[in-house]
């Protein structure tokens, strides 16, 4: 696209940048958001480019922010400026007004929601001096830029090449094709000479002036007052004189005030600068007038002023002797601290080098507390590190724990773990500190994937807590259990749970129930009786609405929350509705809090549940919904991708499933959970392809799960496929061993009233072995028993497998008529679930049996499960292409479903769907 840049808009040699700005703005106006960043040294006209961008954004809402050197420790300081300038309550959008962020992702989630849900028209965000932005604003801005493609939002920013943090972020965005970059260079010699001649009305009489300006438009503009310069004056000295010459004519009081103001960078608080300069009250107005009328400074609103250009502040600051700078920074720290401006005060304390200053440490700690509560973890780390330096050897345990917490949140896990280990191992700290460090270390171990859990220190700290506060000891044990389970499995975690259960006997009911719920999950996984019953009190509280203490967002962001322990127990015992309701309740809480990490964890659980229930399209939609935040939630994503891999595999998309498995492996060696799950998926894929190599993968699954003590068959329903794979590979001994373990794991009475899938899978396996032995009578009986057991379980994929085996058996033995019923039902179940491979095999068997799918007369006017799903999405306002994408169907299939829906319901448009009860399968 070409756009003519009018003469009034022309900046010297900046035409290309202006065209890029115009293109970015125009694209956002059309709904295709994008970003552009201008990079160059100070004084090259970058800010003028932003003004042109604002002029071009007619009809846009414009948000503006400017990075400030002395405000890099203000949590989300730059973003607050942008949101406030848009007339938005920044604290509300970021979640600060709700009492703080439960995890670092909260501001990111909330800002993206605000952008998507509340923007009524095109928006332009312009940010100047991005190189001075606080780290958290910079990270959030980059996150937003990565999601602009379908939004009417343009981001245009400027920065210097140094400091490098912002430049590296922009470089990464540019490499990914998400941001355009315009390098702003000094003017050519010809342009510089022409500009100076235009400003002075004559050619420069000295080449030194042009050399001093170095093609910098600001210096050329200021050089008007210098003229030819002085003979023998170097370009470097002349450059300083050009800048400081702007201050010529100011009295000493005004100059002193300007130097004090420069300590704060470009922008400063008027009252602080005045007090720092110790101006007499009767001189304040005259000094401020002189600085404003000279053109050096401009009003910035809310009791602030700013230098007309950063180079003016820089020249004044560099003019101060280092010792004087430090003294003035110290005084500025005291003035800001007195006003409660802890974040700004901390930056001055750093510049003053206040090591050993107790107040500086206290103020920096308060600044870190505020930053961490707001989810500004990078800023919190900077503040706590400063507080620790200021305190020196006197840094207290509380401060070190806060530093470790912020380091953990910022993913600096090695440093965080080292801090906790020092506190646990060294003497002189009370039991509270050691136990607190233990709980934090448990979470750090979970995040880092470290195998060494520091068991001697853990045991000592727990026993110390038990002597003083059993409740704290129980909490520490529960926290440590999460890491232990993830890295060593249930067998190594059980002793922690048993100890927590013992200590909780005399504690308040809620803590006792939490300990029981953890033990209940482990009991089921290890084949011990009473697991569900132990977790049931937690479930009863959740499901009847008595949820106090159970649904704290700060607890739900970890996979070891009591609500999840109950949900897993319900899932293992096939109380699927209870499990799904508990997880849905937890997710509602996390959605309200804006916790991406927590949402990803519980959504992974929900999607896994949906896969098992044969709702493959819904499962894929669920995992897709958290993919958007994958860069914020790296830890839950391997599990989420394994769930997606399973859904894809059942859907018949084998290559895509394998790609997901490889993506998980690429992250590293993985946990026992990921390694066993990938073996299960690969084994199943090979089994369905007729490859006897499937048996090797299932042997791998068995070895891993045995090593960690996982015997619960509902944890990963691998055993049935493993037995089939071993028999196909001629490994009958292996098949019989897996079957014997499955028989042992079946709950007594399960064949009548307990979990149905393990009993059904065992009967199916017994049937395969009987058939291999030629005992067709016992084989048929086992196959029929398997199909009957699984029918009421609500597991359509497993039911379809049982029916397919039964029908295939009958067909192979010449009983074609008897085979058609089971095969037709298997085909229907597979098709409604979207299980591509299973449906194809069932249809092939049905054809061989001489039959085809027929609908019973009483079913002809009832919506199928697939039709219900399409109808619900259509009633919600989704278009046919959107429904097709969500359910992984073709638009033609969606249209066909809708035609049948309309015919069955007696309506003629999707508008009328909204008034119909569409509850169903």
pLDDT per residue over 490-528, tens digit each? 999 999 999 999 999 999 999 999 999 999 999 999 999
Cα separation, 274 vs 288, whole angstroms? 9
Tell whether the model's pLDDT for residue 152 goes beyond 50: yes
Contact 269/276 with Cβ under 8 angstroms?
A: no
Reported as a pLDDT band with limits 50, 70 and 90, residue 2 is very low
Cα separation, 769 vs 299, whole angstroms? 87
Q: What is the mean pLDDT of residues 645-658?
A: 96
Reported as a pLDDT band with limits 50, 70 and 90, residue 917 is low
Closest among 90, 85, 25, 83 to 59, alpha carbons compared = 25
For 921, counting Cβ atoms within 10 Å of its Cβ (0-12 exposed, 13-18 middle, 19+ buried), the class is middle
Beta-bridge partners for 894: none
Cα separation, 561 vs 582, whole angstroms? 12
Cα separation, 904 vs 902, whole angstroms? 6
Reported as a pLDDT band with limits 50, 70 and 90, residue 303 is very high
Closest among 694, 764, 778 to 728, alpha carbons compared = 694
Tell whether the model's pLDDT for residue 658 goes beyond 90: yes
HSE-up (13 A, CA, CB side) for residue 417 = 17
Q: Report helix angle 672-688 to 654-665, nearest 10.
A: 160
| Confidence at residue 241, expressed as pLDDT on a 0 to 100 scale | 61
Tell whether the model's pLDDT for residue 399 goes beyond 50: yes
Closest among 450, 452, 454, 458 to 477, alpha carbons compared = 458
Structural tokens at position 714: 């509902």
Which distant-in-sequence residues (6+ apart) come within 8 Å of 363 by Cβ? 333, 337, 342, 345, 346, 349
Which distant-in-sequence residues (6+ apart) come within 8 Å of 752 by Cβ? none
Compute CA 137 distance to the chain's CA centroid, rounded to the nearest angstrom. Answer: 16
What's the pTM?
Answer: 0.82
Compute CA 117 distance to the chain's CA centroid, rounded to the nearest angstrom. Answer: 19
Tell me which of 64-73, 218-227, 619-628, 871-880 is least confident. Answer: 218-227
Tell whether the model's pLDDT for residue 407 goes beyond 60: yes
Cis geometry, peptide bond prior to residue 163 (ω within 30 degrees of 0)? yes
Q: What is the mean pLDDT of residues 774-782?
A: 96
DSSP 793: G
Contact 140/108 with Cβ under 8 angstroms?
A: yes
Reported as a pLDDT band with limits 50, 70 and 90, residue 343 is very high
| Confidence at residue 5, expressed as pLDDT on a 0 to 100 scale | 35
Q: What is the mean pLDDT of residues 553-573?
A: 93
Tell whether the model's pLDDT for residue 383 goes beyond 70: yes
Query: Residues 740-744: contacts with CB within 8 Å, 24+ apart?
Result: 741/711, 742/713, 744/527, 744/711
| Confidence at residue 371, expressed as pLDDT on a 0 to 100 scale | 94
Residue with tokens 């055993």: 719
Helix, strand, or coil here: 500? helix
Contact 349/390 with Cβ under 8 angstroms?
A: yes
| Confidence at residue 549, expressed as pLDDT on a 0 to 100 scale | 81
Helix, strand, or coil here: 690? coil
Cα separation, 524 vs 572, whole angstroms? 8
Cα separation, 88 vs 740, whole angstroms? 64
Which distant-in-sequence residues (6+ apart) come within 8 Å of 744 by Cβ? 527, 711
Residue ranges in 128-188 assigned as alpha helix (H)? 135-145, 164-175
| Confidence at residue 901, expressed as pLDDT on a 0 to 100 scale | 83
Closest among 139, 197, 133 to 160, alpha carbons compared = 133
Average pLDDT, the chain: 88
Reported as a pLDDT band with limits 50, 70 and 90, residue 475 is confident
| Confidence at residue 476, expressed as pLDDT on a 0 to 100 scale | 83
Tell whether the model's pLDDT for residue 3 goes beyond 50: no
| Confidence at residue 40, expressed as pLDDT on a 0 to 100 scale | 95
Tell whether the model's pLDDT for residue 222 goes beyond 90: no
Contact 212/235 with Cβ under 8 angstroms?
A: yes
Contact 862/831 with Cβ under 8 angstroms?
A: no
Q: Give the count of beta carbons closer than 10 Å to the beta carbon of residue 909.
A: 9
Tell whether the model's pLDDT for residue 317 goes beyond 60: yes
Structural tokens at position 354: 């206040």
Cα separation, 697 vs 681, whole angstroms? 9
Within the chain, what is the greatest distance between any pair of CA atoms? 114
Reported as a pLDDT band with limits 50, 70 and 90, residue 4 is very low
Cα separation, 649 vs 202, whole angstroms? 77
Reported as a pLDDT band with limits 50, 70 and 90, residue 384 is very high
Tell me which of 149-153, 223-227, 228-232, 415-419 is least confident. Answer: 228-232
| Confidence at residue 167, expressed as pLDDT on a 0 to 100 scale | 96
**What kind and span of H or E run contains 298?**
strand 297-301
| Confidence at residue 137, expressed as pLDDT on a 0 to 100 scale | 96
Cα separation, 181 vs 20, whole angstroms? 9
- pLDDT > 70 in the chain, percent: 91
Beta-bridge partners for 159: 39
Residue with tokens 């029908």: 807
Cα separation, 817 vs 488, whole angstroms? 52
Q: What is the mean pLDDT of residues 547-573?
A: 91
Cα separation, 419 vs 163, whole angstroms? 29
For 2, counting Cβ atoms within 10 Å of its Cβ (0-12 exposed, 13-18 middle, 19+ buried), the class is exposed
Q: What is the mean pLDDT of residues 323-331?
A: 96
| Confidence at residue 204, expressed as pLDDT on a 0 to 100 scale | 65
| Confidence at residue 6, expressed as pLDDT on a 0 to 100 scale | 37
| Confidence at residue 858, expressed as pLDDT on a 0 to 100 scale | 43
| Confidence at residue 504, expressed as pLDDT on a 0 to 100 scale | 95
Beta-bridge partners for 124: 62, 154
């Amino acid at each position: 696209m070409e756009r003519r840049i009018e003469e009034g808009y022309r900046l010297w040699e900046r035409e290309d940048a202006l065209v890029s700005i115009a293109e970015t703005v125009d694209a956002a106006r059309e709904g295709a958001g994008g970003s552009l960043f201008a990079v160059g040294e100070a004084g090259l006209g970058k800010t003028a480019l932003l003004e042109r961008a604002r002029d071009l954004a007619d009809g846009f809402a414009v948000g503006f922010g400017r990075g400030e050197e002395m405000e890099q420790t203000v949590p989300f300081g730059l973003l607050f400026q942008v949101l406030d300038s848009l007339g938005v309550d920044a604290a509300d959008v970021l979640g600060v007004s709700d009492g703080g962020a439960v995890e670092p992702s909260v501001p990111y989630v909330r800002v993206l929601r605000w952008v998507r849900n509340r923007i009524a028209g095109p928006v332009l965000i312009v940010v100047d001096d991005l190189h001075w932005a606080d780290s958290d604003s910079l990270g959030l801005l980059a996150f937003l830029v990565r999601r602009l493609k379908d939004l009417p939002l343009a981001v245009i920013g400027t920065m210097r090449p140094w400091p490098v943090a912002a430049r590296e972020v922009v470089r990464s965005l540019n490499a990914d094709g998400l941001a355009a970059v315009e390098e702003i260079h000094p003017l050519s010699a010809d342009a510089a000479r022409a500009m100076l001649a235009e400003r002075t009305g004559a050619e420069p009489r000295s080449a030194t002036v042009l050399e001093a300006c170095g093609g910098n438009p600001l210096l050329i503009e200021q050089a008007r007052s210098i003229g030819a310069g002085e003979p023998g004056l170097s370009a470097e000295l002349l450059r300083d004189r050009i800048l400081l010459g702007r201050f010529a004519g100011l009295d000493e009081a005004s100059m002193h005030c300007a130097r004090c103001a420069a300590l704060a960078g470009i922008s400063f608080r008027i009252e602080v600068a005045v007090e720092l300069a110790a101006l007499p009250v009767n001189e304040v107005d005259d000094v401020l007038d002189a600085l404003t009328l000279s053109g050096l400074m401009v009003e910035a609103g809310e009791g602030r002023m700013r230098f007309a250009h950063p180079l003016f502040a820089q020249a004044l600051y560099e003019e101060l002797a280092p010792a004087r700078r430090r003294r003035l920074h110290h005084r500025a720290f005291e003035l800001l601290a007195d006003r409660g401006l802890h974040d700004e005060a901390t930056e001055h304390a750093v510049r003053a080098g206040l090591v050993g200053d107790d107040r500086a440490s206290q103020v920096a700690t308060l600044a870190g507390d505020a930053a961490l509560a707001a989810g500004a973890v990078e800023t919190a780390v900077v503040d706590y590190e400063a507080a620790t330096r200021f305190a020196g050897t006197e840094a207290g345990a509380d401060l070190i724990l806060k530093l470790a917490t912020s380091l953990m949140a910022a993913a600096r896990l090695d440093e965080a773990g080292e801090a906790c280990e020092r506190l646990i191992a060294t003497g002189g700290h009370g039991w509270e500190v050691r136990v607190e460090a233990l709980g934090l270390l448990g979470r750090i171990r979970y995040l880092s994937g470290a195998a060494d859990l520091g068991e001697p220190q853990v045991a000592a700290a727990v026993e110390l807590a038990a002597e003083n506060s059993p409740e704290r000891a129980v909490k520490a044990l529960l926290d440590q259990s999460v890491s232990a389970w993830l890295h060593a499995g249930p067998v190594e975690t059980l002793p922690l749970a048993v100890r927590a259960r013992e200590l909780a006997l005399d504690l308040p009911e809620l803590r006792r129930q939490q300990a029981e719920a953890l033990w209940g999950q482990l009991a089921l996984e290890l084949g011990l009786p009473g697991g569900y019953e132990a977790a049931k009190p937690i479930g009863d509280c959740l499901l009847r609405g008595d949820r106090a203490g159970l649904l704290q967002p700060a607890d739900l962001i970890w996979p070891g929350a009591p609500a999840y322990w109950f949900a897993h127990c319900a899932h293992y015992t096939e109380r699927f509705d209870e499990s799904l309701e508990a997880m849905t309740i937890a997710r509602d809480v996390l959605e309200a809090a804006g916790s991406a990490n927590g949402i990803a964890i519980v959504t992974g659980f929900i999607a896994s549940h949906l896969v098992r229930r044969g709702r493959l399209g819904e499962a894929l939609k669920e995992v897709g919904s958290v993919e958007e935040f994958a860069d914020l939630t790296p830890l839950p994503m391997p599990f989420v991708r394994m769930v997606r891999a399973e859904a894809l595999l059942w859907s018949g998309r084998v290559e895509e499933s394998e790609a997901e498995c490889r993506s998980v492996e690429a992250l590293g060696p993985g946990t026992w959970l990921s390694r066993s799950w990938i073996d299960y998926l690969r084994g199943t894929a090979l089994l369905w392809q007729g490859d006897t190599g499937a048996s090797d993968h299932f042997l791998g699954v068995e070895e891993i799960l045995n090593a960690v003590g996982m015997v619960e068959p509902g944890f990963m329903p691998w055993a049935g496929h493993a037995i089939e794979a071993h028999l196909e590979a001629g490994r009958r001994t292996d098949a019989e061993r897996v079957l014997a373990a499955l028989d042992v794991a079946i709950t007594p009475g399960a064949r009548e009233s307990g979990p149905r899938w393990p009993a059904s899978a065992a009967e199916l396996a017994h049937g395969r072995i009987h058939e291999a032995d030629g005992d067709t009578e016992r084989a048929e009986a086992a196959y029929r028993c398997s199909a009957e057991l699984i029918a009421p379980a609500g597991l359509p994929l497993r039911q379809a497998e049982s029916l397919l085996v039964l029908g295939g058996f009958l067909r192979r033995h010449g009983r074609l008529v008897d085979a058609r019923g089971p095969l037709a039902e298997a085909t229907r179940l597979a098709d409604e679930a979207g299980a591509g491979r299973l449906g194809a095999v069932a249809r092939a068997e049905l054809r061989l049996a001489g039959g085809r799918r027929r609908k019973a007369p009483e079913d002809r006017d009832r919506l199928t499960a697939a039709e219900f799903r399409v109808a619900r999405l259509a009633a919600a306002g989704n278009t046919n292409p959107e429904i097709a994408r969500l359910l992984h169907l073709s638009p033609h299939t969606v249209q066909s479903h809708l035609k049948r829906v309309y015919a069955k319901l007696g309506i003629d448009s999707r508008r009328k769907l909204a008034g119909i009860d569409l509850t169903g399968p």
